């Protein structure tokens, strides 16, 4: 195996596993840039997604101002290409984490880049809940909080898992883009050490590792969605 790697993937071997440019470091950085933006961006997405459903004209808490505000914010951030968002919010990133470059700095734009996409996905998932169940809960005297938690979120949990899976996969793509401009991770490895130096083996292996991560997310997401879908029935 060692001879095979040295012969056909010499640059991959030379890059090593540890160190600032090692494969292990790149993988950890990619997971780091996926995990924290998924948490922060996910929470923002859930809040805005719920607000878009409950505050709409026929929602359980109709509010024209808040519905319009959330809708405009989500639409605005979705309209900005991620590569431009990285540059535009650089001063804000500096204010939050104290630097504009690096893996930690990438968390801010990644969170803001993924949340509007997820918010729309959450909105669609919650709107798929049968309105009759919402009306039945209201007739039984359920509070708005009960309806949000026990009706909307509970009934839509399988669909929420599906849209979360799609969002996570999109986020992995964004981490690769952020890595390509110096945030580290497999994207940076593919571009800086592979493409820019004509080391095709590094580019191919980095791409395969990203695809493997996407595959794992997809399989886990599909499994969880199927499990909760059966439970809902």
Domain definitions of the chain by residue range: 2-232
Question: pLDDT tens digits for 33-84?
Answer: 999 999 999 999 999 999 999 999 989 999 999 999 999 999 999 999 988 8
pLDDT in tens, 79-105: 999 888 888 888 898 898 888 888 888
pLDDT, residue 5, reads 67
Residue 150: its pLDDT value, please? 92
CB 45 within 8 A of CB 122: yes
Mean of the per-residue pLDDT values of the chain? 90
What pLDDT score was predicted for residue 232? 53
First to last CA, the chain: 49
| The CATH number, out of the four listed (1.10.3720.10, 3.50.50.60, 3.40.50.800, 1.10.260.40), of the domain defined by the range 2-232 | 1.10.3720.10
Instruction: Show the tokens assigned to 102.
Output: 């690096």
Q: Residue 129, SS3? A: coil
Whether the CB-CB separation of 126 and 102 falls below 8 Å is answered with: no
């Amino acid at each position: 195996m060692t001879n095979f790697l040295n012969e056909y993937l010499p640059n991959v071997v030379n890059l090593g596993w540890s160190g600032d440019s090692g494969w292990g470091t790149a993988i950890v950085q990619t997971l780091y840039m996926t995990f924290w933006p998924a948490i922060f961006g996910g929470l923002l997405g859930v809040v805005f997604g719920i607000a878009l459903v409950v505050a709409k004209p026929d929602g359980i808490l109709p509010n024209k101002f808040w519905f319009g505000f959330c809708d405009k914010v989500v639409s605005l951030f979705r309209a900005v290409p991620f590569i431009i968002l990285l540059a535009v919010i650089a001063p804000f990133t500096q204010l939050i984490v104290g630097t504009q470059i690096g893996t930690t700095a990438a968390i801010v734009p990644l969170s803001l880049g993924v949340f509007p996409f997820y918010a729309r996905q959450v909105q669609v998932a919650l709107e798929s809940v049968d309105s009759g169940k919402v009306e039945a809960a209201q007739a039984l005297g359920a509070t708005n909080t009960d309806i949000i938690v026990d009706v909307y979120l509970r009934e839509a949990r399988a669909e929420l898992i599906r849209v979360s899976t799609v969002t996570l996969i999109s986020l992995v793509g964004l981490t690769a883009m952020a890595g390509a401009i110096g945030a580290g991770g497999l994207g940076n490895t593919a571009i800086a050490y592979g493409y820019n130096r004509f080391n095709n083996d590094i580019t191919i292996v980095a791409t395969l590792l990203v695809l493997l991560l996407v595959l794992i997310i997809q399989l886990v997401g599909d499994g969880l969605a199927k499990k909760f879908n059966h439970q809902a029935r």
